[in-house]
Every structure is written in structure tokens, then in C-alpha cells.
């Protein structure tokens, strides 16, 4: 890729921007101030600056600095250097909080510097703040906030794009997508979540490069998918479908969602229910989210009677040809959750249920999912699946116990 020069940045001081130190995580502030005290430059960057400029609370606080990973580690007892391709520091805080501190980087200059997975790996990866801004994905993600001078620093016209509500790749979109195809996904994610328009040249380059996503490692695709499941999932999944990415990532599951509008509309409604529930504080776990994603796809299999459901679902996953690597344990848990949700539905309709279901390890997770799928809302504090069952079959408890002794009910 042609090396992009770093022009003078636009620097905006108060009251030209709305960011207040009070909006910044105190641990992130500690890191920023400590780095300055040791003579380094350090900025807040990425999604935090973008979201704070939009007047939204920030989700995570990424820091960028001219201190090298080893220098960061030396100054923070709670810092760990991670990453094989790009080394960066993770600073750990109580409650499992981790703040990522990376060193200003530059983009790769030629093909020899490309890693097999597509992302560029320069021999000397470090660069200036300007170079770091230009190697980022989209303009609205490449802004810096300097807590010392209380200024926003913009090398890439990100402020203009924020004001115009535009998602624009920094530099040449085709080159940026070839360098790292996951950026296509990131463009779609951010435009879908923010409701921003994708800039014309960026949008034009997407269809001819989506196939490159197939070359990404399954582990990286899984990591990216997890980000989509963490918040505001529906708009992103809809965008992935629109550009034919669901099928490339999720194999047959994704292809079914792309080819069958009715099936996808069921998924879309479920995600909308969960997005709403999440805003009200009911966040599903990652495994519950995956179970929700696969529920409509696996519907026909789940409807079958007298079959070994665990085996059938397991075979469906094995034969789907997913490029995303779903870890074995996650897949096993998704299957357990789905099988219990299905048994719950049956129990409520027929009054028949294996008593041991209530003691299953995934019962609580399944119960949460059951409410979202069948009641189209999360459960209230006092509600549980057991209570639903008691209400539906007030004299039913004894019957379940007796039925327990009957030959195995397959569910
Ligand atoms: P979110 O709000 O979802 O955390 P984010 O923009 O902060 O969004 P992260 O995945 O946390 O996303 O990445 C932090 C920053 O790192 C991004 O804002 C962007 O500047 C840069 N970045 C991340 N992935 C890439 C990539 N593949 N190519 C270039 N820059 C990237
Ligand atoms: Mg982030």
C-alpha cells in the first residue's frame, strides 16, 4: 500500500467538542496521566472518542501511546504484553476490566509486509500519531483525544464525517480491504449501529471484496462475530446478510438465512426483542446469543420427534461448513441450551416433561432464552419457567414425577 503522508492534524479545543474527563473511565485516565508523567504521549482513541463525540457513553477505552509495549509493562505492574503479530499491552484492573494500550503504528508499505491472513505486518511496525491514524479502518474511528490539553486531534477528517454521519474507509477502500478483509465487516457494523451512510467509494468496493473474508482464520471470524453479539445485534446481522457475508461465515446456517426471507425475518424479530431487552438491562450471555442466532435455522430439526436431538444438532453443525470456528465447548453448550428450550416448549404445551430437566446445568440459560423466544420479552425478576408450568398445570407436579419412571422421553 502506498504510504500515506500525515498532514497537520485538525486540533479542536473546548468548547468545540463535548468530551469531558468525567465521561472517561477513571482507570483509563490513570493510565493516560501515568504515561504523561513518564514523558510519553498518550491519547484515548477508537470507539470511545467516536461515541463520546456523538454524546453516547463509551463502551471500552482504547489508549494509544508512543511508549513501546515493553516500556508500558515496566511502568504498570498490572500490564501484560500480548499479541503475536502486533504486540500491545493489556492493563488489568479489578472486576476483570482490561484496558488495551497500543503503540502508535504505521501501515505496511509493500506486499512482503502482508501476513498470510491479510493484515499488514511491517518489519518495524511503529510509527507517528499521524501514521497511526492513517493505518486505522474508518475515519470516525481514527480520532484521538488528548486528556492533558483537552483537545480532539483529527488527521483523517473524521470530525467532518461524524458531522455528516458517514462511514468512510481511510485511504483507498480496495487496498484497505485487501490488506484486511475484516474491515468490510467493520464498515458494515459501524454504519448499521450508528445508522450512518456508507460513503460511495467505500460502498462500491465492498461487493468485489467480500469473498476475501473466506481467507480469514476461523478464530478471527469467531472473535468478530462475538463483537456483533455484544450489543445492537439486529442491524449488523441484517447488513451482513445484505452483502452475502452471513453465508460466508456461518456456512449452511448463513445460506439458509440469506435464501429464506421468512426464516431470516424470524431471526431478525428475535434479535430485535433481545436488542430491546438488552437496553433494559437484560443481557444474554454469549452462548445464549449464539443459541438465539441458531434457533430459527435448527427449527425443523428441533421439531422432530423420537430422535437423538443432541446427535442431530451436532451433525447439523458439523455439516454446515462454517468458516467461523465455534469452539467445541461453546457448540456443546449451545446444543444443550437449545434442547432444553425445546423441551420447555413441549412441556408447556403438553404438560409432559422429564423431571430431571429442572436440574440440568443449562436450565437457567434455557429459561432466559425461552422467555425471549416464546414470550417475546425477558422474564421479570419473580418469573421463571417453573412458575409458568405451575400456572399452566396447577396439579401437574405429581404427574411429572410419575412420568419420570416411564421409558426415556426423547427431547
Ligand atoms: P467498539 O465500539 O465496537 O469497541 P471500536 O471502533 O472501538 O468499536 P475496536 O475493535 O475496539 O472497535 O477497535 C479499536 C480501534 O482499533 C478502532 O476504532 C480502529 O481505530 C482500530 N481498528 C480495529 N480493527 C481494525 C482493523 N481491522 N483495521 C484497522 N484499524 C482497526
Ligand atoms: Mg473499542
Q: Quote the pLDDT of residue 306.
A: 81
Closest protein CA for atom 4 of ligand 1 = 47
pLDDT level of residue 219 (50, 70, 90 thresholds): very high
Asked if pLDDT for residue 350 goes beyond 90, the answer is no
Query: pLDDT, tens digit, for every residue of 227-271?
Result: 999 999 999 999 999 999 999 999 999 999 999 999 999 999 999
Average pLDDT, the chain: 90
Question: Does a structural domain hold residue 250?
Answer: no
Task: Assess whether 164 and 309 both reside in one domain.
Answer: no
Question: Does a structural domain hold residue 288?
Answer: yes
Asked if pLDDT for residue 404 goes beyond 80, the answer is no
- Angle, CA 40 vertex, CA 38 and CA 45 arms, to 5°: 130
Q: How many domains does the chain have?
A: 2
Q: Quote the pLDDT of residue 5.
A: 53
pLDDT higher for 57 or 124? 57
Listed residues 154, 169, 184: the one ending a domain: 169
Mean pLDDT of 308-326: 96
Question: Does a structural domain hold residue 126?
Answer: yes
Asked if 246 and 240 count as a contact pair (C-beta separation under 8 A), the reply is yes
Task: Assess whether 39 and 161 both reside in one domain.
Answer: yes
Task: Assess whether 161 and 14 both reside in one domain.
Answer: yes
* Residue 65 region by backbone torsions, left for phi larger than 0, else alpha for psi between -120 and 50, else beta: beta
- Rounded CA separation 168/398 (Å): 63
pLDDT level of residue 112 (50, 70, 90 thresholds): very low
Asked if 292 and 376 count as a contact pair (C-beta separation under 8 A), the reply is no
Task: Assess whether 162 and 291 both reside in one domain.
Answer: no
- Rounded CA separation 301/338 (Å): 11
| Ranges assigned E (strand) in 310-380 | none
Closest CA to 274 of 356, 376, 136, 402: 376
Query: pLDDT, tens digit, for every residue of 34-81?
Result: 999 999 999 999 999 999 999 999 989 999 999 999 999 999 999 999
Q: Quote the pLDDT of residue 387.
A: 86
- Rounded CA separation 248/139 (Å): 27
Q: Quote the pLDDT of residue 114.
A: 45
Asked if pLDDT for residue 157 goes beyond 50, the answer is yes
pLDDT level of residue 307 (50, 70, 90 thresholds): confident
- Measured in Å, residue 39 CA sits from the centre of ligand 2 at 25
With the most atoms of ligand 1 within 8 angstroms of its CB, the residue from 137, 156, 191 to mutate is 137
Question: Does a structural domain hold residue 297?
Answer: yes
Which residue out of 51, 60, 260, 275 is catalytically annotated? 60
Q: Quote the pLDDT of residue 396.
A: 64
Ligand 1 pocket residues where CB is under 6 Å: 46-47, 59-60, 62, 136-137, 141-142, 180, 182-183, 186, 227
Task: Assess whether 307 and 162 both reside in one domain.
Answer: no
pLDDT higher for 257 or 363? 257
Asked if 147 and 32 count as a contact pair (C-beta separation under 8 A), the reply is yes
Listed residues 169, 196, 212: the one ending a domain: 169
Closest protein CA for atom 13 of ligand 1 = 46
Question: Does a structural domain hold residue 290?
Answer: yes
Q: Quote the pLDDT of residue 409.
A: 47
Listed residues 108, 134, 169: the one ending a domain: 169
- Rounded CA separation 16/360 (Å): 56
Task: Assess whether 43 and 165 both reside in one domain.
Answer: yes
Closest CA to 301 of 315, 287, 282: 315
- DSSP assignment of 272-285 equals HHHHHHHHTT-PPP
Q: Quote the pLDDT of residue 109.
A: 56
Please measure the distance between the N-terminal and C-terminal CA atoms of the chain and give it in whole angstroms.
55
Cis ω before 15 (30° cut-off from 0): yes
Tell me, yes or no, if 60 is annotated catalytic. Answer: yes
Closest protein CA for atom 14 of ligand 1 = 46
Question: Does a structural domain hold residue 201?
Answer: no
Asked if pLDDT for residue 111 goes beyond 60, the answer is no
Instruction: For residue 19, give its domain range.
Output: 10-169
Q: Quote the pLDDT of residue 411.
A: 46
Question: Does a structural domain hold residue 210?
Answer: no
Question: Does a structural domain hold residue 265?
Answer: no
Task: Assess whether 28 and 153 both reside in one domain.
Answer: yes
CATH number at residue 64: 3.30.460.10
Asked if pLDDT for residue 353 goes beyond 80, the answer is no
Query: pLDDT, tens digit, for every residue of 191-208?
Result: 999 999 999 999 999 999
Amino acid at each position: 500500500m502506498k504510504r500515506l503522508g500525515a498532514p497537520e492534524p485538525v486540533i479542536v479545543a473546548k468548547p468545540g467538542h463535548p468530551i469531558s474527563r468525567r465521561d472517561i473511565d477513571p482507570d483509563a485516565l490513570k493510565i493516560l496521566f501515568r504515561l504523561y508523567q513518564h514523558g510519553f504521549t498518550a491519547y484515548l482513541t477508537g470507539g470511545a472518542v467516536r461515541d463520546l463525540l456523538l454524546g453516547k457513553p463509551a463502551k471500552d477505552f482504547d489508549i494509544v501511546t508512543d511508549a513501546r509495549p515493553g516500556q508500558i509493562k515496566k511502568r504498570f505492574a498490572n500490564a501484560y504484553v500480548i499479541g503475536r503479530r502486533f504486540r500491545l499491552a493489556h492493563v488489568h484492573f479489578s472486576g476483570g476490566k482490561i484496558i488495551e494500550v497500543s503503540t502508535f503504528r504505521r501501515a505496511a508499505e509493500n506486499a512482503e509486509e502482508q501476513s498470510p491472513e491479510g493484515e499488514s505486518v511491517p518489519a518495524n511496525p511503529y510509527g507517528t500519531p499521524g501514521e497511526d491514524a492513517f493505518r486505522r479502518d474508518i475515519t470516525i474511528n481514527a480520532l484521538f483525544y488528548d486528556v492533558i490539553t483537552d483537545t480532539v486531534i483529527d488527521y483523517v477528517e473524521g470530525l467532518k464525517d461524524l458531522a455528516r454521519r458517514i462511514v468512510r474507509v481511510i485511504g483507498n477502500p480496495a487496498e484497505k480491504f485487501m490488506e484486511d478483509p475484516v474491515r468490510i465487516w467493520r464498515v458494515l457494523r459501524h454504519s448499521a449501529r450508528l445508522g450512518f451512510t456508507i460513503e460511495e467509494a467505500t460502498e462500491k468496493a465492498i461487493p468485489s471484496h467480500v469473498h476475501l473474508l473466506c481467507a480469514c482464520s476461523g478464530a478471527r471470524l469467531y472473535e468478530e462475530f462475538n463483537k456483533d453479539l455484544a450489543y445492537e445485534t439486529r442491524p449488523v446481522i441484517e447488513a451482513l446478510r445484505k452483502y452475502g457475508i452471513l453465508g460466508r461465515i456461518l456456512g449452511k446456517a448463513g445460506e439458509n438465512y440469506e435464501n429464506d426471507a421468512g426464516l431470516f425475518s424470524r431471526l431478525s424479530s428475535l434479535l430485535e426483542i433481545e436488542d430491546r431487552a438488552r437496553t433494559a438491562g437484560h443481557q444474554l450471555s454469549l452462548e445464549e446469543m449464539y443459541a438465539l442466532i441458531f434457533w430459527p435455522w435448527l427449527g425443523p430439526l428441533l421439531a422432530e420427534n423420537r430422535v437423538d436431538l443432541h446427535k442431530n444438532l451436532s451433525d447439523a453443525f458439523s455439516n454446515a461448513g462454517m468458516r467461523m470456528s465455534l469452539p467445541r465447548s461453546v457448540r456443546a453448550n449451545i446444543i444443550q441450551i437449545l434442547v432444553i428450550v425445546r423441551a420447555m416448549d413441549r412441556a408447556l404445551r403438553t404438560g409432559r416433561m422429564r423431571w430431571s430437566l429442572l436440574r440440568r446445568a443449562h436450565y437457567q440459560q434455557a429459561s432466559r432464552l425461552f422467555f425471549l423466544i416464546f414470550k417475546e420479552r425477558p422474564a421479570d425478576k419473580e418469573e421463571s419457567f417453573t412458575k409458568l408450568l405451575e400456572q399452566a398445570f396447577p396439579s401437574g407436579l405429581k404427574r411429572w414425577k410419575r412420568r419420570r419412571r416411564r421409558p426415556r422421553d426423547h427431547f
